[in-house]
Amino acid sequence: MSDFKINTKCLIGGYKPGNGEPRQIPIIQSTTFKYDTSEAMGKLFDLEATGYFYSRLQNPTCDFVAAKIAELEGGAAAMLTSSGQAANFFALFNICEAGSHIVASSSIYGGSYNLIDVTLAKMGVTATFVSPDATDEELDAAFQDNTKAVFGEIIANPALTVLDIEKFANAAHRHGVPLIVDNTFPTPINCRPLEWGADIVTHSTTKYMDGHAACLGGAIIDGGKFDWLAHADKFPGLCAPDESYHGITYAEKFGKEGAFITKATAQLMRDFGAVQSPQSAFILNLGLESLHVRMPRHVENAQAIAEFLEQQPQVEYVNYPGLPSNKYYALAQKYLGNGGCGVVSFNLKGGRKAAEEFMKCLQLAAIETHVADARTCCLNPATTTHRQMTDEQLAVAGIPAGLVRLSCGLEDKEDLLADLQQALAGIAG
Ligand SMILES: *Cc1c(COP(=O)(O)O)cnc(C)c1O
């Protein structure tokens, strides 16, 4: 399968029907699976044999779709989760425990920031946040003896900073830990972080992968290259026997390619249960089948809108890594050769009030807590998604009060530009 181009993998990856089998992936809407003997089922419980017994752990429909996403990212193994939040939580908690420490980019999705800063802290996992622009020295200084992972977003939601993947991967590897990156915004069509040195990739499939605002979901993809056993003291969960699985040592039994996802499935999914439903996985797969067609159009619309907004007197600045004036333009050219994503953000000179008036005037773009939909939507993060953050934290994350996040959909570009023009004219004073 690896010989095919990514566009083809969007259609045929993951599921290979045999003679007379369904063309489209079947929805296996069953919680449980039948066995002839207890012995046969027992082998599954012991992870001695592969197979299905309960859909909280694994389900064939979800596995078909996870396998497609693994192929798209060029990973060794993957799993679906109920949401992007669950994916990031599992990816981190799979190698962290009370007493562990994470180095994270400060420029990340509000939900991920909260997860790391507040909720993981309650579980005894602490974090040091670093600027996505941190130098090697600043990165090195953030590590502690108990650091277990580095986390960042390729294109941050909503700040739209671009992560220097190689720099962050090198820093992580200097300190013997993996780089986990959230690749939600570029999708594997526009960036494949594993090719740049990242070790584990996460997704909110709720966004472009589904792409139609139809189902929540997440995914974790393991590149299968990180050598857990070479840092066995840091990763006892993978490199020491798991008493809840009859003393299995994941890194020994499943190797570099299988250990991470097997542990996350067998242990975290078993205990936390954040599964994606087979119905959702089926819908997600319909989105994946056109991902390679949709992404270029999202990018084309966003590029045109970013260029338009940059010329408007009401706009203080536009954030879009595809603009030559953007601080991250060079990094975007390097890592996001096909363009980044369909999300543009811009700060209105009139602040919070102007943002409110502007958004009220929009006719095509709907006000939504969503991005990456086929239909254009917008949001003022300071008053909605990021309202739990202080003004100081907002400033650090690059999200001032007048910032509007505009997720450019697949509508006709001319209609979108006309809508923005009339809404800008509607801002008072
Ligand atoms: C939306 C989002 C998440 C959270 O995903 P959900 O599916 O909403 O749980 C995580 N990371 C990024 C970059 C996101 O945009």
pLDDT tens track for 139-168: 999 999 999 999 999 999 888 999 999 999
Ligand 1 atom having least distance to the Cα of 86: 9
Mean pLDDT over 2-22 rounds to 94
Q: How far is the centre of ligand 1, averaged over its atoms, from the C-alpha of 351 (Å)? A: 26
On the question of a cis peptide bond just before residue 158, with omega within 30 degrees of 0, the verdict is yes
Q: Kindly report the three-state secondary structure assignment for every residue of 12-61.
A: HCCCCCCCCCCCCCCCCCCCECCCCCHHHHHHHHCCCCCCCCECCCCCHH
What is the mean pLDDT of the segment spanning 293-315?
Answer: 98
Q: Name the residue at shortest CA distance from atom 5 of ligand 1.
A: 84
Q: What is the pLDDT of residue 400?
A: 86
Q: For 207-230, what is the mean pLDDT?
A: 98
Q: Which residue has the higher pLDDT, 300 or 383?
A: 300
Please name the residue whose Cα sits nearest to atom 2 of ligand 1: 204
Site to probe by mutation for ligand 1, drawn from 81, 162, 180, 204 as the one with most ligand atoms within 8 Å of Cβ, is: 204
State which amino acid sits at residue 137.
Answer: E
Atom number in ligand 1 closest to CA 108: 13
Nearest CA among 118, 129, 126 for reference residue 388: 118
C-alpha 423/C-alpha 364 separation (Å) is: 10
Ligand 1 pocket (Cβ < 6 Å) reads 83-85, 88, 109, 111-112, 153, 157, 182, 184, 204, 206-207, 216, 218
- 24-67: pLDDT as tens digits: 999 999 999 999 999 988 888 888 888 899 999 999 999 999 99
**SS3 assignment, position 204:** strand
Pick the CATH number of 292-425 from 3.40.50.300, 3.10.129.10, 3.90.1150.10, 3.40.718.10: 3.90.1150.10
- Take atom 15 of ligand 1 and give the residue whose Cα is closest: 157
Closest listed residue to residue 123, CA positions, set 105, 141, 102? 102
d(C-alpha 156, C-alpha 40), whole Å: 46
Distance 110 CA to ligand 1 centre (A): 9
Extents of the domains making up the chain: 6-286, 292-425
pLDDT tier for residue 1 given thresholds of 50, 70 and 90: very low
Which atom of ligand 1 has the smallest separation from the CA of 205?
7
CA of 292 to the centre of ligand 1 (A): 20
Structure tokens at 307: 């260029």
Q: Is the predicted pLDDT of residue 301 greater than 50, yes or no?
A: yes
CA 133 – ligand 1 centroid, Å: 22
Mutate to test the pocket of ligand 1, among 85, 114, 154 (most ligand atoms within 8 A of CB): 85
Q: Which residues contact 89 (CB under 8 A, 6 or more apart)?
A: 115, 120, 272, 274
Q: How far apart are CA 176 and CA 16, in angstroms?
A: 37
Topology, domain 6-286: Aspartate Aminotransferase; domain 2 (3.40.640)
pLDDT tens, residue by residue, 102-142: 999 999 998 999 999 999 999 999 999 999 999 999 999 99
360 CA → ligand 1 middle, Å: 25
* 224-267: pLDDT as tens digits: 999 999 999 999 999 999 998 889 999 999 999 999 999 999 99
Question: b vs e for 376-396, b when ≥16 Cβ sit within 10 Å of the residue's Cβ?
Answer: bbbbbbbeebbeebeeebbee
Three-class SS state of 74: coil
User: In angstroms, rounded to a whole number, what is the distance separating the alpha carbons of residues 158 and 121?
Assistant: 23
Report the residue among 157, 200, 205, 341 best suited for mutation to probe ligand 1: largest number of ligand atoms under 8 A from its CB.
157
Alpha carbon nearest to ligand 1 atom 1, residue: 204
